[in-house]
Structure 1
Amino acid sequence: MSNKTLYLASPYGFSKHWSLKLLPEFITKLESMGARVWEPFARNSSIDTLSPGWANKVSSSNFNDLKQADGLFAIVNGTPPDEGVMVEIGIAVALGKPTFLFRDDFRKCTDSDEYPLNLMIFSGIPADSWNDYYYSAFDEIDCKKKAIYKWLRN
């Protein structure tokens, strides 16, 4: 089993229902594959959002977690996907972190015929095998032929 840390970027923590129903499914799936999952909403739950400077504390915490994590798993549903998740992807790409994308949203969100999302999101993913880093169904996440499975075992 792996001891690699995955930062889980998603907008699901903003909704009580999503944080109770959707987030745990992703966390459980990734942990069952051997990842240590860092979910930013849970990791920042002790920050008082009524105190001055709370937003800076949250963003600094997230940035530091991204720097320390071994990789990023980003949920990129929506048209466009959540802007915070897009920034987190940009940070991970700039830091050279392995980046894995999940989108089961059937709507197109691109100007490219090749990529299902803004082409810049794929700048940190190998061009010849980007499909191995892109997941369009929940059941694909633990597929042995896909990149995250292989990455967690190396």
Structure 2
Amino acid sequence: MTSKTIYLASPYGFSAQCKRLLLPEFVAALSHLGLMVWEPFERNGHVDTTKPGWAFRVAQQCMQDVRDADGVFAIVNGTPPDEGVMVEVGAAYALNKPVFLFRDDFRRCTDSDQYPLNLMLFAGLPETNWDEMVFNSIDSIKDQGSALGQWAQSG
């Protein structure tokens, strides 16, 4: 069986410390489930940011990766979460891709009593048991019995 691909939507590649310390943990946890992880900062690391048009090319490649991936895992920390990650999540929802969210940020960023973030961020998740698609620790990502783990192993 070919492993599924998951696009890791994250703002952590913009910081050298986060890129060195945090991103590898997420990649390892997702890989633990047998997923092939597409991490955009790694996939676009060869781009020469001194050349005109680099930002357009990176954005186009990221959107192509969202289209081509089997699913999206999005880190949605912050109040509000990173706007680029939000665009990637919205694109995944529009493409009917499964989306899994990660938030270990205790701050609430919502008008809703039900959701910890803007309600539109949950529009592509199931109405009931949506919280099964939201992870709050590296260990929870690795759980083979979670919604993500089950999806990773499904046909």
TM category (shorter chain) comes to: over 0.9
State the alpha-carbon separation in 2 of the partners of residues 117 and 136 from structure 1.
14
Q: Which blocks of at least 5 consecutive residues in structure 1 are unaligned?
A: none
State the alpha-carbon separation in 2 of the partners of residues 103 and 121 from structure 1.
12
Decide whether the 8 Å contact of 1:2 with 1:152 is kept in 2.
no
State the alpha-carbon separation in 2 of the partners of residues 120 and 23 from structure 1.
26
Counterparts of 1:1-154 in structure 2, within 5 Å, are 3-154=3-154
Amino acid at match of 1:70: D
What percentage of aligned pairs have identical amino acids? 56
In angstroms, what is the RMSD of aligned CA positions? Answer: 1.1
**TM-score (norm: length of structure 1):** 0.97
Distance 1:139 1:2, change over 3 A: farther
State the alpha-carbon separation in 1 of the partners of residues 83 and 24 from structure 2.
22
Decide whether the 8 Å contact of 1:132 with 1:145 is kept in 2.
no
State the alpha-carbon separation in 2 of the partners of residues 107 and 121 from structure 1.
16
Deviations along 1:7-36, one digit per CA (max 9) or x if unpaired, are: 000000000000000000000110011000
Amino acid at match of 2:73: F
**TM-score (norm: length of structure 2):** 0.96
Amino acid at match of 1:79: T
State the alpha-carbon separation in 2 of the partners of residues 93 and 40 from structure 1.
18
Q: Which blocks of at least 5 consecutive residues in structure 2 are unaligned?
A: none
Decide whether the 8 Å contact of 1:2 with 1:35 is kept in 2.
no
